[in-house]
């Protein structure tokens, strides 16, 4: 198994999101996503927004947060927003393929390299797809191998003796595991290169 999370994983994560949510577009998206204060619609809208943010930051190797245009009051349908997940993930995929491995760009969790941005993209897509499907009472099971790569890249402190999807849910505070302490409430991703990880859980200040 390839151990480095990359552009193929971003594309596959977006495809998994589409497969899970395409049959739900006619539901009431104003209901709350599972465990969040956001509606399912707001949660879905966040996913493509994050993808475009990552792509923009990495494309110019931004050293700080870039200014972002805010949309108007027009609201996309759930189906249109779901399409934008795939579109913006594809944009990020192309940026990742073009970026040298040495590229670095600002993220609030650290100066991320391409694999860090790929990992954060997949994590955002998979975890928020879970939040939405759970809100609708629908099961979601993403590819285990993608979860394993994301987990290894962003959460090197996560438990290693359980399934990757269970561990990824634990790492994002979506699952409690018996005999395993809860994830630190102030965690942040290890999005800078793993060679710079100091062995402790990165925390928001």
pTM of the model: 0.96
Give the range of the structural domain holding residue 163, as residue numbers without chain letter. Answer: 7-196
Any domain includes 18: yes
| Residue 159 counted as domain residue | yes
CATH number at residue 118: 1.20.120
Residue-level pLDDT at 82? 97
Residue 99 has pLDDT above 90, yes or no: yes
DSSP 34-81: TTSSSBHHHHHHHHHHHHHHHHHHHHTT-SSPPP-PPP-S----HHHH
40 found inside a domain: yes
The answer, yes or no, to whether residue 121 has pLDDT greater than 80, is yes
181 lies in some domain = yes
Tokens representing residue 102 in the block: 């040495």
- In the predicted structure, residue 91 carries a pLDDT above the cut 60: yes
2 belongs to a structural domain: no
Alpha helices in 60-178 (DSSP H): 78-98, 114-135, 144-154, 164-171
**In a domain? residue 1:** no
Structure-derived torsion over alpha carbons of residues 59, 20, 147, 89, reported in degrees to the nearest 10: -10
pLDDT at 75: 81
204 within some domain: no
So what's the pLDDT on residue 156?
97
Question: What is the tally of structural domains in the chain?
Answer: 1
Out of 38-52, 93-107, 173-187, 189-203, which region has the weakest mean confidence (pLDDT)?
173-187
Whether residue 190 has pLDDT greater than 90 = yes
Is 123 contained in some domain? yes
């Amino acid at each position: 198994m390839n151990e480095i999370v990359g552009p193929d994983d971003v594309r596959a994560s977006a495809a998994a999101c589409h497969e899970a949510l395409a049959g739900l577009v006619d539901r009431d998206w104003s209901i709350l996503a599972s465990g969040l204060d956001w509606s399912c619609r707001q949660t879905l809208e966040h996913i493509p927004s994050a993808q475009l943010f990552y792509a923009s930051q990495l494309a110019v190797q931004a050293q700080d947060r870039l200014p972002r245009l805010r949309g108007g009051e027009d609201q996309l349908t759930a189906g249109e927003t779901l399409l934008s997940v795939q579109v913006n993930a594809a944009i990020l995929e192309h940026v990742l393929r073009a970026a040298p491995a040495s590229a670095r760009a600002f993220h609030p969790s650290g100066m991320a390299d391409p694999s860090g941005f790929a990992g954060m993209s997949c994590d955002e897509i998979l975890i928020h797809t879970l939040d939405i499907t759970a809100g609708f009472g629908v099961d979601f099971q993403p590819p285990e191998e993608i979860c394993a790569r994301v987990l290894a890249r962003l959460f090197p402190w996560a438990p290693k003796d359980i399934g990757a999807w269970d561990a990824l849910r634990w790492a994002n505070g979506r699952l409690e595991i018996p005999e395993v302490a809860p994830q630190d409430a102030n965690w942040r991703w290890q999005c800078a290169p793993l060679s710079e990880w100091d062995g402790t859980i990165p925390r928001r200040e």
